[in-house]
Structure 1
């Protein structure tokens, strides 16, 4: 279970996420439910795979590129 704390999180108004089953209140903090953690890690996996694919493709064309732009 992952905890969300602080005012800088994207869940400053967690009503919708709570009603959808993505968050649950634990004291003064909110925690990601297993459903939300599964979704989060799926998105993270897709982004990481896209980044690695782009990095390898760019590096094959130009070894040690100065920058790589993800779109």
Structure 2
């Protein structure tokens, strides 16, 4: 999941840096703001899955004698 989020972030960052959509249409300031908000909402929802399951997974993977 974290790898997917990183990949999406890299794509989003490249699009914003170029100022254009993938088909070369220019991005307006309003579109950049809206796409940023959508990206962050989407990534946060995906990260919550990691956040919900990580403690249990780490407890299961951790050796009994580790701090």
**Bucket of the pairwise TM-score, normalised by the shorter protein:** 0.3 to 0.5
Where is the helix percentage greater, Structure 1 or Structure 2? 2
Where is the strand percentage greater, Structure 1 or Structure 2? 1
Report the TM-score, using the length of structure 2 for normalisation: 0.46
Specify which structure has the bigger relative contact order, considering alpha-carbon pairs within 8 angstroms and separated by 6 or more residues.
2
